[in-house]
Structure 1
Amino acid sequence: MHTTTLSPNYQVSIPENLCQRLSLRAGQEFTLITKGNILVLVPTPSLEAMRGFMKGANGENYRDRQSNK
């Protein structure tokens, strides 16, 4: 288990070995999610990483679409 400390500037350092294991890089953005008293940091994917992830998706019968009938 790893620990870190919140600085007076409200910053948190992630240990280097975790950054390497998770392929994190300096300047990377994170989404913060709270679950009760738990804070989860989720790396925000880049646009390049998101390219093509919906390839082949079928847009028919989505409930938020209005019917043309």
Structure 2
Amino acid sequence: METVAVSPKFQVVIPKRIREKLGLSPGQKAQAILYGDRIELIPVRSIKGMRGFLQGIATTVEREADRR
């Protein structure tokens, strides 16, 4: 766990180790979500960048008769 400070302009620096692990780049957008008593930052990825992230997921699910 890393501790960060909130600047007078309410800015926060994401620690380098976390930026590198997530592959974040300057100017990249993130969604800020209030979750209980914490803030979660979710990196916004392009559709092109999402290609293949579900590789290997099971697609053989039972479907209702009207959905076949």
TM-score (normalised: structure 2):
0.67
- C-alpha separation in 2, matches of 1:49 and 1:4: 28
- Give unmatched runs, 5+ long, in structure 2: 54-65
Give the TM-score, by structure 1 length. Answer: 0.66
Q: Counting helix residues as a fraction of each chain, which structure ranks higher?
A: 2
Query: Shift in Å at residue 47 of structure 1?
Result: 3.7
**Cα RMSD (Å):** 2.4
SS in 2 for 1:3: coil
What is the aligned-residue identity percentage?
A: 38
Structure 1: which 5+ runs fail to align?
A: 54-59, 62-69
> Secondary structure of the equivalent of 2:24?
coil
Q: Which residue pairs with 2:23 in the alignment?
A: 23
